[in-house]
Chain A
């Protein structure tokens, strides 16, 4: 392996680490918000399930990232490096602002920006980008509809129960399971995006055949990096997700997480790289709207939506500039 290839793999794993760090909030915001677990225990719980996700899911999402965003032939070491720097740069900006944006879409925007700067707009693959674009909109809606349905079903089943405290204790325990399921989905869908980037660069440098799957060491490295990132946590975003969008009770937290987990299991199995952030945000809004729409703080939700809209163009522009700089230096 060349120094350049090793550097790109390290940067990809750093991106995966920032992904876990940035998105830890998604996995643990509701368990922390409802005080089921302390923040420290919650991140350890989420990190463990992020890591073990590799045992349960395939690598279809990795294939979509490696072969479905831009022409695989344009993915040189320099392009992938610039794309990753664009994605990491955008993640750090939104982390600093406390906005729960999508690391996945930052990665797609970054890779697209770097590839366009290198070879022009014709290298973008319409089918893959369209699939990702459609699910940018659909994933929060799926999360919202499922969470609302789960919450309504739970309310319908337990509406005659008088001992609310006892019921809440049960749901607090249930949240441990739903947080674990969501962390599995997060690990499965998000770690695969880094695997996709590493696979693309291994194919581009001839270390892996074009038709080959993801090597096991890449799978383990990606899941370790995202798990370690989650372990270090991102508290600014936990606050936005856990309490600012809508106040959650244990029953709501459990409904939101199990709904978002179901959506992530489906999309991971179908090879669709969706945003775990978008999915859980939609689910939290869905739970909030079981009461009334005013239970959702739409000002905060609107700020989050703007950050989503700007993610792909923002990461695209950073990666585009970095790609031109890399080209000038190289």
Chain B
């Protein structure tokens, strides 16, 4: 079983969880990290699905 997608979702959650702790100038970095991992989770889920089809 491909565990990458759930793993990346955990990383996305960590990114979003850090948004309130980040200083105002760099809050967008935490948001961008969260969003990037959601996209990567989606891509790896599609990759896994296409390999098993």
Residues of A within 8 A of B (CB): 127, 130-131, 133-135, 137-138, 141-142, 144-145, 148-149, 152, 270, 272, 289, 292-293
Interface of chain B, main secondary structure: helix
B-chain residues with CB within 8 Å of residue A145 when the two chains form the complex: 11, 33, 36-37, 40
Given the interface pairs A131-B23, A272-B26, the reply to whether A137 lies near B18 with Cβ below 8 Å is yes
- Do the beta carbons of B26 and A131 come within 8 Å of each other? yes
Question: Chain A residue with minimal CB distance to B34?
Answer: A141
Of B21, B25, B33, the residue contacting A141 (CB under 8 A) is: B33
B-chain residues with CB within 8 Å of residue A133 when the two chains form the complex: 21
6 A–B contacts, CB within 8 A, in A order: A138-B33, A141-B11, A141-B33, A142-B29, A145-B40, A292-B2
- Do the beta carbons of A142 and B4 come within 8 Å of each other? no
B-chain residues with CB within 8 Å of residue A137 when the two chains form the complex: 14, 18
Question: Chain B residue with minimal CB distance to A271?
Answer: B25
Of A138, A152, A289, the residue contacting B29 (CB under 8 A) is: A138
- Report Cα–Cα, A16/B36, bound state, in Å: 34
Given the interface pairs A134-B26, A141-B15, the reply to whether A293 lies near B37 with Cβ below 8 Å is no
Those 5 A-B pairs whose CB atoms lie nearest each other, nearest first: A145-B36, A134-B22, A131-B23, A293-B3, A141-B33
- Do the beta carbons of B26 and A141 come within 8 Å of each other? no
Of A135, A144, A293, the residue contacting B11 (CB under 8 A) is: A144
Of A127, A141, A149, the residue contacting B14 (CB under 8 A) is: A141
- Do the beta carbons of B26 and A270 come within 8 Å of each other? yes
Given A134-B22, A138-B18, A289-B7, 12 extra CB contacts under 8 A:
A131-B26, A134-B18, A134-B21, A134-B26, A137-B14, A138-B22, A141-B14, A142-B33, A149-B36, A270-B26, A289-B4, A293-B3
- Do the beta carbons of B43 and A152 come within 8 Å of each other? yes
CB proximity of A101 to chain B, nearest CB, Å: 20
A-chain residues with CB within 8 Å of residue B36 when the two chains form the complex: 145, 149
CB proximity of A70 to chain B, nearest CB, Å: 17
